[in-house]
């Protein structure tokens, strides 16, 4: 499924809920159709913007043998090493420093990217210039734990955005330990990765771009009771991708990221049955909540860049639509189509 590079960027920004930061990159000036070049451009421009504002720094613990007392005296080490005979003490103190984990992750990401031969040459030169600003920052070996250990605050919105870019690169940049080179895996061809991205995009889009509905992901209880004690706890959890609620209407949207919204059975196109069963199960079991839930509507939403669908049914008292959103069109049209999708019919 081919999606324009500009639209991929918007998908990522909505998925990460980082619309405020998206304008640090003029995506229309990006000529390369390659996703890796896009991510490098975003990281380079974003980090350049960060450097102009000033890199973040934090208190780092230091230890020093000194004749001038600073911070807390470590008497145990001072006595054990006979430092006082030389009129010095081991002191422990905190000092503001740029050599902190989120700056180390940025440096490590640039370093790994510069080992990739497929990045646009002009872009790579820009990256080298930015990388040089991190000369005083320690080199680290990136791992999942590195990203999980970062602690940011409300004032670190740009760092949060850049670290999300770094994490996406880390998850898809394969390092060859023998040659020292890196190779980027095209995550756009991974349906599981894109399913997660598409779902988050749609949910955050409705949270930001309309005011009529409240938007959430909702747990639905089974309309069932256990007939034996041993049966308790075995029913699978039902959680919607997106639930839209207004005072008069409720819609459950289930997103699916497939290359094709149909399955072929003896050369006859049919909808994926498991997807229909799933959303129908949501609609029937949510009825127990009463009120507008009794007439809750469902939308199965697929992305497409070619054939578009708008199928509508009423099944067991519930309106059910199977729709596609064309990701190979101007972003304003994508925006309008998603808004129009939730207008009553």
CATH architecture of 191-341: 3-Layer(aba) Sandwich (3.40)
pTM for the predicted model, two decimal places:
0.83
- The ranges of the chain annotated as CATH 3.40.1350 are 191-341
Read off the pLDDT band of 58 (50, 70, 90): confident
pLDDT at 12 (0 to 100): 94
How large is the average pLDDT for residues 62-81? 74
Q: For residues 268 and 190, which has the higher predicted lDDT (pLDDT)? A: 190
Read off the pLDDT band of 57 (50, 70, 90): confident
pLDDT at 265 (0 to 100): 67
How large is the average pLDDT for residues 97-104? 89
Distance (Å) of CA 188 to CA 4, 8, 80:
11, 9, 59
With 90 as the cut, is the pLDDT of residue 332 above it?
Answer: yes
Tens digits of residue pLDDT in 307-325: 788 999 999 999 999 999 9
Percent pLDDT > 90 in the chain is 54
With 70 as the cut, is the pLDDT of residue 306 above it?
Answer: no
Token readout for 194 is 């894109």
Tens digits of residue pLDDT in 266-292: 667 777 888 999 999 999 999 988 888
* Mean pLDDT lowest among 23-32, 77-86, 271-280, 304-313: 23-32
Read off the pLDDT band of 21 (50, 70, 90): confident
With 70 as the cut, is the pLDDT of residue 121 above it?
Answer: yes
pLDDT at 258 (0 to 100): 80
């Amino acid at each position: 499924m081919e999606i324009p590079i500009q639209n991929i960027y918007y998908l990522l920004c909505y998925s990460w809920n980082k619309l405020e930061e998206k304008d640090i990159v003029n995506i229309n000036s990006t000529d390369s159709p390659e996703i890796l070049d896009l991510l490098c451009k975003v990281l380079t421009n974003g980090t350049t913007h960060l450097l102009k504002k000033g890199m973040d720094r934090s208190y780092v613990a230091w230890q020093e043998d000194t004749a001038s007392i600073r911070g807390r005296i470590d008497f145990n080490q001072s006595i054990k090493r006979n430092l006082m005979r030389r009129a010095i003490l081991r002191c422990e103190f905190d000092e503001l420093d740029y050599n902190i984990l989120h700056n180390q992750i940025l440096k490590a990401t640039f370093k790994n990217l510069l080992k990739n031969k497929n990045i646009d040459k002009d872009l790579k030169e820009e990256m080298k210039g930015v990388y040089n600003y991190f000369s005083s920052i320690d080199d680290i070996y990136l791992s999942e734990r590195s990203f999980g250990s970062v602690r940011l605050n409300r004032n670190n919105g740009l760092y949060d955005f850049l670290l999300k870019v770094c994490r996406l690169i880390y998850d898809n940049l394969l390092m060859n330990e023998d040659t020292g080179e890196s190779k980027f895996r095209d995550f756009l061809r991974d349906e599981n990765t894109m399913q997660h991205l598409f779902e988050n995009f749609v949910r955050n889009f409705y949270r930001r771009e309309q005011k009529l509905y409240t938007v959430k992901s909702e747990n639905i209880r089974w309309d069932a009771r256990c007939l034996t004690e041993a049966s308790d706890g075995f029913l699978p959890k039902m959680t919607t991708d997106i639930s839209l609620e207004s005072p008069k209407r409720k819609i459950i949207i289930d997103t699916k990221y497939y290359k094709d919204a149909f399955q072929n059975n003896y050369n006859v196109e049919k909808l994926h049955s498991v997807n229909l069963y799933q959303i129908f199960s949501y609609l029937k079991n949510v009825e127990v909540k009463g009120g507008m839930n009794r007439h809750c509507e469902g939308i199965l939403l697929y992305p497409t860049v070619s054939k578009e669908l708008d199928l509508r049914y009423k099944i067991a008292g519930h309106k059910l639509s199977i729709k596609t959103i064309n990701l190979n069109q101007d972003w304003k049209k994508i925006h309008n189509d998603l808004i129009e999708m939730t207008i009553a019919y």
